[in-house]
Chains A and B, each alone.
Chain A
Amino acid sequence: MALAAVLATMLGQLAVALLAIGLAGRGAWAGSVLYAASAAAGAIATLAALASLLAAPAPPETLILPFGLPWLGAHLRLDALAAFFLAVVNFGGAIAALYGIGYGAHEPSPRRVLPFFAAFLAAMNLVVLADDAFTFLLAWECMSLLSWALVMAHHHSAANRAAGHVYLTMAGFGTLALLLAFGLLAGPAGDYGFAAIRSAPLTPWLGGGALLLAVLGTGSKAGLVPLHVWLPLAHPAAPSHVSALMSGVMTKVALYGLIRILFDLLGPPPGWASMVLLAAGGATAVLGVLQALMQSELKRLLAYSTIENIGVICVGLGLAIAFQANGMTAASALAMTAALCHIANHALFKSLLFLGAGAVLTATGERDLERLGGLIHRMPQTSFLFLIGAVAIAALPPLNGFVSEWLTFQAVLLSPVLPHWGLKIMVPAVGGLLALATALAAACFVKAFGIAFLGRARSAAAATAQEVEPTRLVAMALLALACLLIGLLPGYVIDGLAPVTRDLLGAVMPAQPAAPWQPIVPVVASRSSYSGLLVFLFIGVSASLAALVIHRVASHAVRRAPAWDCGYPEPSPLAQYSAGSFAQPLRRVFGTSIFRAREQVTMPLPGDLRPARFALQMRDLVWEGLYLPLAAAIGYAAERLNALQFLTIRRYLGMVFLALVTLLLVLALWPSF
């Protein structure tokens, strides 16, 4: 039932895409109607997926469609994991489409956005539903290509073209890795149905190889360091509601692939896989947020912060593997729930923040934080909603980001019972990295919100900005509401995720209390508990009490006056702290070693009227140390192979002959054939 509903909405999205090819650009109304249709389809699919998730113990629905490989067909399957991800994908998609109604009117070339947008949503749905490797890879590749087309929507700027180039290369690499992973998983029998893969056990070596390839393939899509380089280029280049989709939703689809392969298809994952994920996750979290702190462009900052959150999720997944490999299924369920919860939360608040950045972009035409400021006066609603997103992503109570970070920390705290010494010592260290990343994320979003929305306007565009349309505000408000609700009532989310962990790990977290004010309990109440609602009410009551008492007893007088600033107020808004200067202390502490940041101040001599100059130089060591040499090596190899283009026919024939003989030799010498 739910599967049919989701399929119908996918067809609806495709229809929107087809109509959009003809209609987009005919006028603003056409775009609005199409975006509204897409939003409606997304909403229906969200409801269907949620219904399927909550009706959990029911067996998974399956369907075989007669396309794809002739002997295989397209297998589709809707189980609890898929239902959860469908809900995340479609909710994010519906909100982005709703936002698109207003945002599309500002789009110079709607024909380059709308058709791909709807088809992109359908492709992501198909990835999640796929039940055989062929359909999965096909949908995965469609998702990559369609999002590439969206990144290239504004292809007039050279930076965007470069971003598209890097993205396409990395997406190709990721798909290749996944292709090989599925090749290993399917084994010599070559049965690409997931059911067959599930039932066929692999040798440790082959399984390990498939696992590493899967981590590479999905990690390159999700943005795991060092495969993240395309992400901060491509996500900001797309139109903002597409950025929200790519950052908030597509990275989650990549993680879906990882979870599906690691926990479902591969059988019980080996223990060492947890070390890989923990190390990669910890490094990703810290590097991502440090990079985010150094950015002065709002959307790029958000993209880097996505990398950080992917790291946090990977730490959760790594913990889940570690516990599961050692037979502690309850702890494993806790870690898995934390990761899934963070997946949903990040989809919500990152979409919210990207949509907010899009509102700022259309209102001011500025991406650069150094030219924004004071928007809280011009765009009060947007800034309030963006603030909610910022508080949520900074993992502050009582919003949802804190809940998932808290659950992850609780899982970290269970690590001493692990029997493996390396893990025992590694997990607290990774926990420290996670704590560092959390604190830096708060700093990063103080900067993002403080520079863009507070203070005085740094440019004329920011000083004259106008609030955006109501539809866009509604889209953002829905996300903010979801952030708040999950933060206040996390118990329901944890219970809702129970079918997923039961399917994957065979264990669930303890059932949470039914009453909304009772605290959530990850293990036992005496160990740890947290109630978002109570904390929220507590703060609300205390703040109102304080306000009440103070307004009773204290002076009411308020006088507006120029800013004090220790007696030396500087009239130019350019004298305010900028994004660069805000990050300077942290750049000095971390940047000198990690980014090789070098500051150079040139002071004029006394009496000289030249202005002082400040130059900052930063380098991306991952890019320079890994990608440039790789690109150089590939260039070199290509140069050598270039000679093969200019051979005589006899030599070409000789090469074909040689290849044939080599293959036959391999066949003859291969032991198992």
Chain B
Amino acid sequence: MAVLLSLVVQAGQMALVLLLAPLLTGLVRRVKARLLRRRGPPLLQPYRDLWRLLCKEVVLAENASWLFRATPYLIFAATWVAAALVPTFGRGLMFSWSADLIAIIALLASARFFLALAGMDIGTSFGGIGASREVMIASFAEPAMLLIMFSLALIAGSTQLSTVATYMASAEVGLRVSLGLALVGLAIVALAENGRIPVDNPATHLELTMVHEAMVLEYSGRHLALIEFTSALKLLLYVSLIACVFLPWDLAPPGAGPAAWAIGILAYLLKLGACACLLALFETAIAKMRVFRVPEFLGAALMLGLLGTLLLFVSRSL
């Protein structure tokens, strides 16, 4: 019975991230538009876009291989699984022990690996440019992420997100420079990984400035719908990650009742909303960088992660 219940909660989390992901994207777009004094698309527009894409036929390039057709499903599944493993409204979900933070990062890396390959499958120059720039960005973002994770893991004594969240909500944490550095670093990595301004522009279709869009240029119909959905899920995942580590309040403990879950979900929604507003504000305030400034930007995140780890050694408990 208890197993069944925890299975249901886990399934609930998976459904929740799936439901909320397009909403978060819609919210960011909306707030951004309002900040620019535009009216902006309705909040539910991403859902409509997805539906419309699903209903369209797929136009496949003549020399597309099976890899090209399988990739959308693969990356969607990998990102969905990763998103399901990040605590959103409750800690200690059933499957959270099957992968820790390193594995979650690696799952996202798998998704990117296949997407980059799919970008090169047709043999167009845009696909190549997108893939090559994506792996360049990733090869800085990933180590930065891992170093940030190191300092988190050293503070919390674990790479298991549930344990980290529990520790961060407890009073032992105290004020630490390293946490601040990790937060800034994580925010930078999240911006880069999700192709947000200043690294990439999710709204652009100007060929020479785009990275992510160039990779998926040949996709259409249901495949494109899945890829768009995956991007939304990834944004949600990073926001949930930041929320669960740095805003760990009101997470339902394992085995809690419906009341705790309801509070957890409400708190989660609030956290999402706050993060979306901050993201929109940041994106409005800053300009996009040249591609070759990006390594410096991400290098700063890498340095922050390393510095955070170093500074830990002079703090109280280590």
Name A's B-contacting residues (CB within 8 A): 373-374, 376-377, 380, 387, 391, 394-397, 402, 406, 409-410, 412-413, 416, 421, 424-425, 428-429, 431-432, 435-436, 438-440, 442-443, 445-447, 449-451, 454-456, 519, 525-531, 534-535, 538-540, 542-543, 546-547, 550, 553-555, 557-566, 569-570, 573, 575-577, 581-586, 588-589
Contact = CB atoms under 8 A, between A and B. Distances in A.
A607 B81 CA distance: 56
A561 to B, nearest CB: 5
A380 B102 CA distance: 32
A373 B121 CA distance: 9
B185 interface: no
A462 to B, nearest CB: 12
A594 to B, nearest CB: 14
B302 interface: yes
B239 interface: no
A431 B122 contact: no
A435 B99 contact: no
Interface centre among B56, B74, B309, by most chain A C-beta atoms within 10 angstroms, is B309
A245 to B, nearest CB: 28
B143 interface: yes
B103 A542 contact: no
Interface stretch (B29-37, B41-49, B106-114): B106-114
B226 to A, nearest CB: 7
B7 interface: no
Given A450-B131, A455-B122, A543 B154 contact: no
Which 9 residue pairs are nearest across A and B when measured between Cβ atoms?
A: A577-B128, A455-B123, A557-B57, A543-B77, A450-B120, A443-B135, A435-B143, A456-B123, A542-B77
Given A456-B63, A588-B292, A539 B78 contact: yes
B124 interface: yes
Interface stretch (B157-165, B262-270, B271-279, B281-289): B157-165
B131 A560 contact: no
Contacts of B139: 436, 439-440, 442-443, 586
B295 interface: yes
Interface string B85-124: 0000000000101111011001101101100110011111
Nearest to B138: A439
B121 A555 contact: no
A380 B67 CA distance: 11
Contacts of B80: 542, 546
Interface residues of B, number: 85
A451 B291 CA distance: 22
A410 B149 CA distance: 12
B310 interface: yes
B59 A435 contact: no
Interface stretch (B168-176, B195-203, B216-224): B216-224
Given A429-B306, A565-B218, 6 more contacts: A442-B109, A527-B158, A539-B81, A560-B59, A581-B128, A589-B295
A454 B65 contact: yes
10 contacts: A409-B146, A413-B159, A431-B146, A439-B141, A442-B139, A450-B120, A529-B100, A555-B56, A560-B61, A575-B125
A585 B302 CA distance: 18
B76 A542 contact: yes
A296 B239 CA distance: 39
Nearest to B303: A432
Nearest to A445: B113
Nearest to B214: A566
B124 A555 contact: no
A513 B306 CA distance: 34
A370 to B, nearest CB: 13
Contacts of B122: 455, 563, 565
A581 B136 CA distance: 12
Given A439-B143, A563-B122, A450 B116 contact: yes
